[in-house]
Chains A and B, each alone.
Chain A
Amino acid sequence: MKFRYAMVCSSNQNRSMESHALLKKEGFDVSSYGTGQHVKLPGPALREPNVYDFGTPYKFMFDQLLRKDPQLYRRNGVLPMLKRNLGVKSAPQRWQENAADGSFDVVLTFEEKVFDMVIEDLHNRNHVFMKPVLVINLEVKDNHEEAAVGARLALLLCQELEATEAWEESIDDIITNFEREHRRKLSYSISYY
């Protein structure tokens, strides 16, 4: 595994964590982040989400929601998801505060908005190392089923990138082929560390 990967969605709960878990299992050097202001989980109603700060341990959320309404959160899959997450890492991390985590070679985002934010954030950082970072957006809907599908696609994509000599040469082909093969729209951009 020659690259460092980052999986980014908005809350670092579902999509990014699903991929994180999968890639980690496959032996990738992977981290995951959210770009949102807060971590939000579905609540009893659409307008009443559970809001946490980044850095709040998954375990804490799990315990709290378990107390609140175990039935509801089990049914909507939040509890199982949190359980999965706490097996991967301890707490959701925020992309914008990850400077200390070092540079990544490939960043995978799962939503256009998140993609924009990651790019804008990278733009605002100082490109001291002039180290290119490939940012790819793979649109994945924010639900459990799609996240699982998205994670598998992410894995495939990362495996293809790993297989290249230098991704710079083949990225156009990889993206185009991937799109064709999986009928997904991708877009990528490049920034620097």
Chain B
Amino acid sequence: MAAPPPREQALALLAAANNHGDLAVKLSSLKQAKDILLAAEPFQAAELFPFLVDLQSSPESLVRKTLIDVIEEIGLKALEHFSILMPVLLTLLKDENATVVKQSILSGTSIFCSVLEELSLQFHRRGIVEMWLEELWTWMVKFKDAVIDILFEAAPLGIKLLTVKFLEIHILLFTSDRNDSERSTVEAISRGGRGFNISWLAVDHPVLDTATLTLDANRSLGILLDLLQSASNLPGLLTISIVNSLAAIARRRPAHYSPILSALLEFDSSFEMAKGGHIASIQYSIRTAFLGFLRCTHPAILESRDMLLKSLRGMNAGDAADQVLRQVEKMMRSNERASRDARLSKDEQLSDHLPASLDHGRKRSLPSDNGDPSYNKDIGVKRVRYGSNDPAAPSVEKNDPGQDDMNGVSKIPLLDSNLTPVEQMIAMIGALIAEGERGVESLEILISNIHPDLLADIVITNMRHLPKNPPLTRPLASDRQGEPSGPSQSIVSTGSTISMEIPDLTAQVPVSSSSLIGSSPSDMSASNNLPFDSKRDPRRDPRRLDPRRMVASVGMPPAPSTEDNSNATQSGAIQHHVDSPSSFIKPLSPPVILSSESITVPLMPKSEAGLTTLASLPTSYVDSLDAKVEVKEEESREIVLNEEEKGALEVPSFTTVEGEQDSVAQTSSDFTMVDEVYSPPSLEADEHSPAIPDMEAAEEASAELPVLPSYIDLTEEQQRIVGALAIERIFDSYENLQGPGGKQIRMALLARLVARVDANNDAILAMQKHVTLDYHHQKGHELVMHVLFHLYSLMISGSEESSPLAAVAYENFLMGVAKSLLENLPATDKSFSRLLGEVPLLTDSVMKLLDDLCCEKYLGKDTSDGDRVTQGLGAVWSLILGRPLNRQACLDIALKCAVHPEDDIRAKAIRLVARKLYVLDYISENIEQFATRMFLSAVDERVSDVDLSQSGVTEQRIEREVGSQETSISGSQVSEPGVSEMDSMKGANMDTQNDSAATLAHAQQHVSLFFALCPKKPSLVRIIFDNYARSPKAIKQAVHRQIPVLIGAFGSSYSELLQMISDPPQGSENLLTQVIHVLSEGTSPPDLVATVKHLYETKLKDATILIPILSSFSKNEVLPIFPQLVNLPLDKFQTALAHILQGSAHTGPALTPAEVMVAIHDIIPERDHLPLKKITDACSVCFEQRTVFTQQVMARALNQMVDQTPVPLLFMRTVIQTTDAFPALVDFVMELLSKLVSRQVWRMPKLWVGFLKCVAQTQPHSFRVLLQLPSPQLESTLNKYPQLRGPLANYASQPSVRNSLSRSTLVLLSPVNESHLQQSHLTPSSHAPDPSSSLHGAMPS
């Protein structure tokens, strides 16, 4: 009634919010108005609502957004009047501003939920729904449709994200959360307004029709699924959010799981089509979704586990998937631990009131559990949750595995108690069972969450205490026929009885098969954990009664059991072994029982004998067992029963009992395994009569009964044998098994058995062999992994006593499998590598095996097979990539092989290291250091027995230097001279053959790796150059062999090399030349030419380096350096000559042969600082190449030279050589001589001698030329070569000649001088041959 002031105030504020010029004022006014409205009575506030509505057209988006905020807050308080404001919400859904729209969706959603809640509550409380609420609901439906419409309109992505989220909420709201896999109650409690679920609705609700709403939700789901299908047109973000939403829906509402799963699977496979967004992220969202499903333990989802695993493996997320599975398991353990603590604290009170333990059990059961059976049936069933992924628990546990910290620090299991998880689990289950009926429900939830692995553990651990006498169950089951227990309970108990019974029971109790399926496994383990309970307080355990009770009810002859008790100490286990299956089989095939029982008798007296017979026993009952397996396979979940059987078989293999329970175990040893299996029925019976008195009675009774079956300790030997048999059997069934579910369990069981049995056992060896034979098909790999992971987990988590054992078993098993893989599979098979890549830990021995394999030391069948090396190196490679922890060790192996003396191994290893490993930045440095060290040590002659295994970062020690020095000295002495440019090559030849070969190989061995790295990192080349000079000959030799390959590998990217070339270190000329040579093979790139030229001009005056690039030189470039080329050793000059004449493809040869000839003659020894001998040699070289320096060439060259001034020094020598070489040129030569005569050759002393010689040699052709000489010269000629005189006179006497001669010539030739002629004729030889003293080297060759 005191309304006016606030009302006026609010009006003023709203007006300000509408009209004020300042945005800040508007907003604060609006907020103040909101406060007033909130404080007012709803109906009063409602009067002001129209003013609020006006604000929706405010031009400021911020105002509109705040308005929605305000509306939501007020609306939630005054829901009754909210209809007035709804149009605002709807209008603003279509606002142009994205933030406003988003806010509308948010606020609308929250109101939507509130309205729903109100709707259901109102009807629930008052039985009616008021008009206003009904009206509001129609608004809500409009709102929902409007939001969904947004999805199909062009809207900003931010808005669409929210609409997808809204759809998700919508679906969750309208899909029943019965059997909810996750936190329906949590949702209800913590979500405030969003606790509504369709399952709240009464069937006859006037407004909300369940069927319609469900349909609506399904339609929404359809929309999401459709959108997913058209994802290729959607932005990646939207696709991801749709996938996420679908995943969330599937996890929370398993009813939708299968369509969603198939849509996601389909999407995954057709996913390459999607091009809308960031593909990797979209794929990742699918992966996340699948992993999320794996975390779920709802039966519907569990069924598809294999499929999920397969797809996850397909997207390379197998590891993550395995990890999730382990997490789930761990999570369960943490739950156990929590309840165990509770249990411990409770234990003390236990003797008084068993129900005291209820409190912690109830933590997991639901609040609705109040013990009233009908209520239990109604709500309890509804609320049964399978995958209780307690939101708190996962966050605690799930991130443990591989929290690899800084620098690969691996995780350490932190177990804070001596109890293993399994024991904790058993303790917890025991505690729950102790609660009786009330605990069952919690138990179910718990057990349905247990991973097969863990379940197997539990079973096995429980098997520790086996009874000897086989209780029979059939009668008990029939006892229970009349029990009025609730459906779930009775089914539960059925689960643990033989499958044969199931038909009866299902007939009796109308329960869907799904609930049957769901509950049976849970109860199985419910029974399993009883022993633990009993261990803790054996006298209290209800099952103590069971054996007797069963015996009594079955009417089984007491004789065997008493006999057992009296005799059986050693043979007990065997008896279990035999008995328990037989008891199972009984209903199916009575004959078997007979046989087995008959066998038990002989066993009694002597255990040894028993054991031997046992070996032959299995055939009979295994057959029946198999038959049974098949029967059970038909019931999908009955597999768990199989597991029980397996458990029964392997019981004896148990040896270790964790510390504190030991003593208790002894006393509580009076339970048969079968007993445990069938104990639930008795429990069920107990439930109806008060449990406690019953048990107490039992306690009293037990004191008086002397013949309780006692526990039998097996000798180790027996344990081993029996364990081996169990393995054999399980493995057999594993191999033959087709169904997917059973394998998991068999694997888990095998893993545990292997942990128990000595790994060198025949059975295991056989298994290893078998596994390898069908490593791929039969999923041998999976099994091996399973076993290894189990052993590993024992190793790292086990107590002090068991972990060393496990470590040994692990090692042996791993080695066994690895070896048999190597032996049985071809080298090309990848299994070996895969095995090493995926096992949890690589032991030293495996690394050794790998090492041996790589080094060909592994003594397999085919030692000479190089493929094994490849296989080993392949494994090394994948390990380096995949196992950071073993990286160094593997790298060591690879590097060791890379300097292996064996060429083949080395080549393979080098290929691996250089191509594959060196590119990995995390090890490239190590590799480089190692290679460099090897190279340097080779250079320093430290290579002989360098410690190869030490490839770490630590510096190589130099100690070994001394020892190896000896061998190298001879080599280096030989190469010492160093004058000969090709010393390294020649040196090698000088060396004794063997020695050089050895050292060369030795050098190769150590430098090859380094060379292989060079192309990857050109800067390494400098190291080669720097160390070349001081290298011993063998290394140089090796280097020269490697260089061509190396340069070839460089390809076009040799800028580093050019840099190197432009500044070579002292002493590396030979190397440099080779490099240049190789580089310029074919064509010489211009930059190379430039670099080399520059080098030649500046630093290195050795023309040798120019040779390789000569072909690309022009004439003008060649001529200046020609003298230097001639000055080179003959062989090098020859090469140079070839290059010059060859030229490049583009420019043609730099010099023609004639020009070369001329160039050679143009060299002046004094000026060009080279001995004349070099020039004559060069000429000789030319003459040797007659195909190049043909007579035409020579003619041209000589023709050119004869006109030169001065005439080249060696001209005459060449002329003489030419006439010798090409007699046909004699006429041409005569012309040349004539020319020389005209050029007064006698004035050129050095040529004159040659001239005369030539004339003398070429007579009679030269007579004409001779006669052209002036008389004095002719005279001196004739004096020198008197033998010419006669012929010449004859020639001159010819009339035609005579006429043209001068008088003085005729006089000279006159017979007056005949005597002179005669005289000199006698001694021609003394004159003729020796012009060389005056004419350097003019002697024709």
Q: B222: CB under 8 A from chain A? A: no
B423 to chain A, nearest CB (A): 22
Q: Report yes or no: B281 in contact with A40, Cβ–Cβ below 8 A.
A: no
Q: B285: CB under 8 A from chain A? A: yes
Q: Report yes or no: B276 in contact with A187, Cβ–Cβ below 8 A.
A: no
Digit string of A45-72 for contact with B (CB within 8 Å is 1, else 0)? Answer: 0110101000000000000000000000
Q: Report yes or no: A142 in contact with B280, Cβ–Cβ below 8 A.
A: no
Q: Report yes or no: B280 in contact with A186, Cβ–Cβ below 8 A.
A: yes
A186 to B277, CA, bound (A): 13
A58 to chain B, nearest CB (A): 14
A58 to B407, CA, bound (A): 19
A127 to B394, CA, bound (A): 18
Q: Report yes or no: A175 in contact with B407, Cβ–Cβ below 8 A.
A: no
Q: B1067: CB under 8 A from chain A? A: no
Out of A78, A121, A128, A168, name the residue touching B406 (CB < 8 Å). Answer: A78
Decide yes or no: A185 and B156 within 8 Å by CB, A124-B394, A142-B407 being known contacts.
no
Q: Report yes or no: B405 in contact with A42, Cβ–Cβ below 8 A.
A: yes
Chain B interface extent, by class: 35 or more
Interface residues of B in 200-250 (CB under 8 A from A): 235-237, 240-241, 244, 248
The stretch of A9-17, A22-30, A151-159 in contact with B is: A9-17
- B635: A residues at CB distance < 8 A: none
Q: Report yes or no: B191 in contact with A126, Cβ–Cβ below 8 A.
A: yes
B76 to chain A, nearest CB (A): 13
Q: Report yes or no: A191 in contact with B244, Cβ–Cβ below 8 A.
A: yes
Q: B33: CB under 8 A from chain A? A: no
* Interface of B, helix, strand, loop or mixed by DSSP: helix
Digit string of B388-430 for contact with A (CB within 8 Å is 1, else 0)? Answer: 0101001111111011111111111010000000000000000
Q: Report yes or no: B295 in contact with A120, Cβ–Cβ below 8 A.
A: yes
The stretch of B158-166, B341-349, B673-681 in contact with A is: B158-166
Q: B1186: CB under 8 A from chain A? A: no
Q: Report yes or no: A169 in contact with B399, Cβ–Cβ below 8 A.
A: no
Q: A36: CB under 8 A from chain B? A: yes
Q: Report yes or no: A189 in contact with B240, Cβ–Cβ below 8 A.
A: yes
- B410: A residues at CB distance < 8 A: 46-47
Q: B192: CB under 8 A from chain A? A: yes
Q: A74: CB under 8 A from chain B? A: no
Interface residues of B in 1220-1267 (CB under 8 A from A): none
Q: B476: CB under 8 A from chain A? A: no
Q: B43: CB under 8 A from chain A? A: no
Q: Report yes or no: B237 in contact with A172, Cβ–Cβ below 8 A.
A: yes
A191 to B168, CA, bound (A): 12
Out of B285, B403, B407, name the residue touching A42 (CB < 8 Å). Answer: B407
Q: B74: CB under 8 A from chain A? A: no
Q: A176: CB under 8 A from chain B? A: yes
Q: B291: CB under 8 A from chain A? A: yes
A112 to B291, CA, bound (A): 13
Decide yes or no: A166 and B98 within 8 Å by CB, A116-B288, A172-B237 being known contacts.
yes
Q: B1203: CB under 8 A from chain A? A: no
A149 to B165, CA, bound (A): 36
Out of A40, A123, A168, A169, name the residue touching B403 (CB < 8 Å). Answer: A40
Q: Report yes or no: A41 in contact with B406, Cβ–Cβ below 8 A.
A: yes
Q: Report yes or no: A168 in contact with B156, Cβ–Cβ below 8 A.
A: yes
A43 to B411, CA, bound (A): 12
Q: Report yes or no: A49 in contact with B412, Cβ–Cβ below 8 A.
A: yes
Chain B residue at smallest Cβ distance from A10 = B403
Out of B109, B187, B412, name the residue touching A51 (CB < 8 Å). Answer: B412
- B158: A residues at CB distance < 8 A: 132, 166, 168-169
Q: A4: CB under 8 A from chain B? A: no
**What total count of A-B pairs have CB within 8 Å?**
153
Interface residues of A in 144-193 (CB under 8 A from B): 166, 168-169, 171-172, 175-176, 185-192
B634 to chain A, nearest CB (A): 37
- B259: A residues at CB distance < 8 A: none
Q: B190: CB under 8 A from chain A? A: yes
Q: Report yes or no: B405 in contact with A49, Cβ–Cβ below 8 A.
A: yes
- B554: A residues at CB distance < 8 A: none
A101 to chain B, nearest CB (A): 15
Q: B707: CB under 8 A from chain A? A: no
Q: B284: CB under 8 A from chain A? A: yes
A133 to B407, CA, bound (A): 30
Out of A43, A120, A185, name the residue touching B280 (CB < 8 Å). Answer: A185
Q: B1148: CB under 8 A from chain A? A: no
Interface residues of A in 58-116 (CB under 8 A from B): 76, 78, 96, 112-113, 116
Q: Report yes or no: B402 in contact with A123, Cβ–Cβ below 8 A.
A: no
- B278: A residues at CB distance < 8 A: 171-172, 175-176, 186-188
A124 to B320, CA, bound (A): 19
Q: B487: CB under 8 A from chain A? A: no
Q: Report yes or no: B404 in contact with A10, Cβ–Cβ below 8 A.
A: yes
Chain A residue at smallest Cβ distance from B182 = A124
Q: Report yes or no: B400 in contact with A119, Cβ–Cβ below 8 A.
A: no
- A166: B residues at CB distance < 8 A: 98, 156-158
Decide yes or no: A49 and B187 within 8 Å by CB, A116-B288, A190-B161 being known contacts.
no
Q: Report yes or no: B405 in contact with A124, Cβ–Cβ below 8 A.
A: no
Q: Report yes or no: B320 in contact with A130, Cβ–Cβ below 8 A.
A: no
Decide yes or no: A13 and B157 within 8 Å by CB, A172-B237, A176-B278, A189-B244 being known contacts.
no
- A123: B residues at CB distance < 8 A: 244, 248, 292
Q: Report yes or no: B156 in contact with A116, Cβ–Cβ below 8 A.
A: no
Q: Report yes or no: A190 in contact with B403, Cβ–Cβ below 8 A.
A: no
Q: Report yes or no: B398 in contact with A40, Cβ–Cβ below 8 A.
A: no
Q: B785: CB under 8 A from chain A? A: no
Q: B106: CB under 8 A from chain A? A: yes
A82 to chain B, nearest CB (A): 11
Determine which residue in B166, B402, B411 has the highest number of CB atoms from chain A within 10 A of its CB, and name it: B411
Out of B166, B284, B403, name the residue touching A189 (CB < 8 Å). Answer: B284
- B408: A residues at CB distance < 8 A: 46, 142
Out of B162, B236, B399, name the residue touching A37 (CB < 8 Å). Answer: B399
Decide yes or no: A38 and B280 within 8 Å by CB, A120-B292, A123-B292 being known contacts.
no
Chain B residue at smallest Cβ distance from A142 = B406
A111 to B784, CA, bound (A): 29
A190 to B187, CA, bound (A): 21
Q: Report yes or no: A40 in contact with B406, Cβ–Cβ below 8 A.
A: yes
Chain A residue at smallest Cβ distance from B284 = A187
Determine which residue in B187, B241, B395 has the highest number of CB atoms from chain A within 10 A of its CB, and name it: B395
- A42: B residues at CB distance < 8 A: 405-407, 409
Determine which residue in B241, B291, B406 has the highest number of CB atoms from chain A within 10 A of its CB, and name it: B406
A120 to B404, CA, bound (A): 19
B245 to chain A, nearest CB (A): 10
A166 to chain B, nearest CB (A): 5
B807 to chain A, nearest CB (A): 14
A129 to B107, CA, bound (A): 9
- B235: A residues at CB distance < 8 A: 172
Chain B residue at smallest Cβ distance from A121 = B395
A38 to B974, CA, bound (A): 67
Decide yes or no: A188 and B281 within 8 Å by CB, A124-B394, A166-B98 being known contacts.
yes
Chain B residue at smallest Cβ distance from A36 = B403
Decide yes or no: A127 and B165 within 8 Å by CB, A37-B400, A189-B244 being known contacts.
yes
- B403: A residues at CB distance < 8 A: 10-11, 36-38, 40, 113
Determine which residue in A38, A129, A143 has the highest number of CB atoms from chain B within 10 A of its CB, and name it: A38
Q: A31: CB under 8 A from chain B? A: no
7 shortest A-B CB distances, which residue pairs? A40-B405, A168-B157, A172-B277, A36-B403, A96-B395, A49-B409, A168-B158
Known: A120-B288, A171-B237, A171-B278. 14 other contacts (CB 8 A): A11-B406, A36-B405, A37-B400, A37-B403, A38-B414, A42-B405, A132-B161, A132-B165, A142-B406, A166-B158, A169-B158, A187-B281, A187-B284, A190-B161
List, sorted by A's number, 13 A–B pairs whose CB atoms are closer than 8 Å: A10-B399, A37-B397, A41-B405, A41-B406, A42-B407, A46-B409, A51-B412, A51-B414, A124-B395, A130-B162, A168-B158, A190-B161, A190-B240
Binding site for A on B (CB under 8 A): 98, 105-106, 109, 156-158, 161-162, 165-166, 187, 190-192, 194, 235-237, 240-241, 244, 248, 276-278, 280-281, 284-285, 288, 291-292, 295, 320, 389, 391, 394-400, 402-412, 414, 885
